[in-house]
Amino acid sequence: MALKIAQSATFRWPVKIMIPVDGGRHDSHTFDVEFARKSTSDVELMVAKIATGELTEFDAFRDLVKGWSGVVDDKGEIPFSESALKMVLDIPTAGIAILNAYKEATGEVARRKN
């Protein structure tokens, strides 16, 4: 397949979150996140702004995460919103899982291993 320079603004990728439960175990939860497609320079700038305090971590997540499916509560599916994103990010392992999924999707994990 030929490389198409113009890409869609977003892409969907599965996120797997491991949540600790009693007995030294973890429950595995999976949902799909719609990520903003960022250039390498945009991601580097975002990281630099977080490091200098110009951008909060939540602002970075809000800029990166554009939607989702598979996030539920007792009443059913929770639509994506800023307040719902805050609730998900309050889960201690969620932010790291979302970042790891983005890194996996964009090849960051592969680049660091080489």
pTM of the model: 0.84
- The answer as to whether 113 is a domain residue is no
- The answer as to whether 81 is a domain residue is yes
- For the stretch 79-102, what's the b/e string if a residue is b when 16 or more beta carbons lie within 10 angstroms of its beta carbon? ebeeeebeebbeeeebbebbbbbb
- The answer as to whether 36 is a domain residue is yes
Quick: pLDDT tens for 16-75.
999 999 999 999 999 999 999 998 899 899 999 999 999 999 999 999 999 999 999 999
For residues 76 and 67, what is the distance between their CA atoms, to the nearest angstrom? 16
pLDDT (average), residues 100-114: 72
- The answer as to whether 114 is a domain residue is no
Per the structure block, which two tokens stand in for 2?
Answer: 């030929």
User: DSSP 3-state helix, strand, coil percentages of the chain (rounded to 5)?
Assistant: 40, 30, 30
Instruction: Give me the domain span that covers residue 62.
Output: 10-107
- The answer as to whether 61 is a domain residue is yes
Contact residues for 25 (Cβ-Cβ < 8 A; gap 6+): none
Number of domains in the chain: 1
